[in-house]
Amino acid sequence: MSKYPKLLLIAALAFGGSPALAQKMGLGRAALPEEVAAWDKDVRPDGLGLPEGSGDVLTGEEVFSDKCAACHGEFAEGVDNWPKLAGGKGTLNREDPLKTVGSYWPHLSTVWDYVNRSMPFGNAQSLTADEVYAITAYILYSNDLVEDDFVLSNENFASFELPNAGGFFVDDRDQTELAAFGAAPCMENCKPEVKITMHATVLDVTPGDPTDDAPAAEVVEVTAEAPEAAPEVVAEAAPALDPELVAAGEKVFKKCAACHKVGDKAKNGSGPMLNGIVGRAAGSVDGFRYSSALMDAAAGGLVWDADALHVFLEKPKSFLPKTKMSFAGLKKAEDRDAIIAYLSTFGG
């Protein structure tokens, strides 16, 4: 017996029996348990990863209305182009199936996991475990899968099966497609005739103005002018503004951009468009359905001057308790100064 195999064995043990007996580089450091706990949040179908906690449908309805309904609708039915989370039962084998938690998702764990890690959009990872249980219960309720007295907890979680749990199968292209698409390709007389059966221009959904498809030289002229024109408008609207503050405000606006649009073609989204907002009467954008809370304040004469915006944006829900703006607020005064400066560059 040479010493060699013995050494190997020791090495294997030292490396914890790792299958690939690779040379370690000794780079990095051991992760601390609290670091792993802070990042390792994913939840699996068997419930692995769920924290202790519980929540009921009615609490869920409140939290959902507060934090989710601006985009997903009061009944999780979806607003505009934002995702629908309820409905669609029985549509999967029909034209244009509606895929929601109730009609399509195979695992309840995915709802908990996704809401917990990724929602609300623009303020992710801000919900408590109990809130996530409550919201998940409410989404089930919106899909007619539980009654209004249902309580979801880490204890009854794994026993709950979604309707489409059995609706998925593992990629079978190897059997169903590879052989069919693997024949030697035809080169001549592959079909008797060819007819055009559909034109893209009939639907006419290609984006942009006609310049998109125009010869390159003309497009160049259009885009080349744009950057020069923009600063002029800004300068006219508010000559006294500090450009650095405006630039900082443009960054802060990313927090609002999911719901609000400004500029040339700004339209209402899940929030009203904000052109001309600074100094404007509250609740006055045409075609936007404000909450009654905001309409009441508007009737009381609320005008969005810089002071009012400061207070509102610091904590929207304290200023207007029932506003449907699901936004936690801008804690830093300098962020609020910056956003107000930025917004005042957009005239009505």
Partner 1 sequence: MQDESGKTTTRRGFLQAGAAMGAGAMLAGTTAAAQSADPLITEIQPWAQGLGDGVDASPYGLPIRFETDVVRRNVSWLTADVISSINFTPIHALDGTITPQGCAFERHHSGAIELAKEDYRLMINGLVDTPLVFTYEDLERFPRTTRTFFLECAANTGMEWAGAQLNGSQFTHGMIHNMEYTGVTLRTLLDEAGIKPEGKWLFVEGADASSNGRSIPMEKALDDCMIAFKANGEALRKEHGYPVRLVVPGWEGNLWVKWLRRLEVTDAPVESREETSKYTDTMADGTSRKWTWVMDAKSVITAPSPQMPIKHGAGPLVITGLAWSGRGAISRVDVSLDGGITWKEARLAAPGQDMALTRFYFDHVWDGSEMLIQSRAMDSTGYVQPTKAQLREVRGMNSVYHNNCIQTWWVKPNGEAENVEVS
Residues between 283 and 302 with contacts to ligand HEC, criterion CB under 6 A: 283-285, 290-291, 293-294
Query: Considering only 110-118, 143-151, 156-164, 212-220, which stretch makes contact with ligand HEC by CB under 6 A?
Result: 110-118
Shortest Å distance, C-beta 152 to ligand HEC: 13
* Binds 294: which of partner 1, ligand HEC, none (CB < 5-8 Å by kind): ligand HEC
Give the C-alpha separation, 260 to 245, whole Å: 20
Per CB under 6 A, 55 contacts ligand HEC: no
Q: Three-state secondary structure along 253-275? A: HHHCCCCCCCCCCCCCCCCCCCC
d(CA 304, CA 312): 9
- The option from partner 1, ligand HEC, none interacting with 210 (CB < 5 to 8 A, set by class) reads none
Mark residues 317-346: x for contact with ligand HEC by CB under 6 A, - for none.
Answer: ------xxxxx--x--------x-------
Closest CA to 165 of 84, 103, 90: 103
Residue position matching structure tokens 């249902």: 150
Binding residue for ligand HEC, selected from 86, 115, 248, 341, defined by CB under 6 A = 115
Residue 327 binding target from partner 1, ligand HEC, none, CB below 5 to 8 Å by type: ligand HEC
Is residue 261 a contact point for ligand HEC (CB under 6 A)? no
Reading the block at residue 92, the tokens are 């999967």
In the complex, least distance from residue 38 CB atom to ligand HEC, rounded to whole angstroms? 20
276 near ligand HEC, judged by CB under 6 A:
no
CA distance 115 to 99: 17
Contact 67, 83 (CB under 8 A): no
Instruction: For residue 37, give the amino acid letter.
Output: A
The Cα–Cα gap between 149 and 309 comes to 40
Degrees to nearest 5, angle at CA 9 with 5 and 13: 170
Nearer to partner 1, 10 or 281 (CB): 10
DSSP letter string over 33-62?
Answer: HHHHHHH-----TT-TTPPS-EEEHHHHHH
Of 43, 50, 57, 85, the one binding ligand HEC (CB under 6 A) is: 85
Q: Which of ligand HEC, partner 1, none is residue 145 near (CB under 5 to 8 Å by kind)? A: none
Residue 120: asked if its preceding bond is cis (omega within 30°), the reply is yes
- CA dist 338 and 31 (Å) reads 39
Tokens 């449908």 belong to residue? 57
Residue 323 binds: one of partner 1, ligand HEC, none (C-beta under 5 to 8 A by kind) = ligand HEC
Least distance from C-beta 166 to ligand HEC, angstroms? 19
283: left (phi over 0), alpha (psi -120 to 50) or beta: left
Out of 108, 134, 152, 277, the only residue in the binding site for ligand HEC (CB under 6 A) is 277
User: Does residue 306 bind ligand HEC (CB under 6 A)?
Assistant: no
Residue 33 or 321: the one with the smaller Cβ distance to partner 1 is 33
Instruction: Name the DSSP class of 281.
Output: B
- The 137-176 contact track toward ligand HEC, x by CB under 6 A, reads ----------------------------------------
Given the rule CB under 6 A, which residues bind ligand HEC? Answer: 67-68, 70-72, 82-83, 85, 111, 114-115, 119-122, 135, 255-256, 258-260, 270-272, 277, 282-285, 290-291, 293-294, 304, 309, 313, 323-327, 330, 339
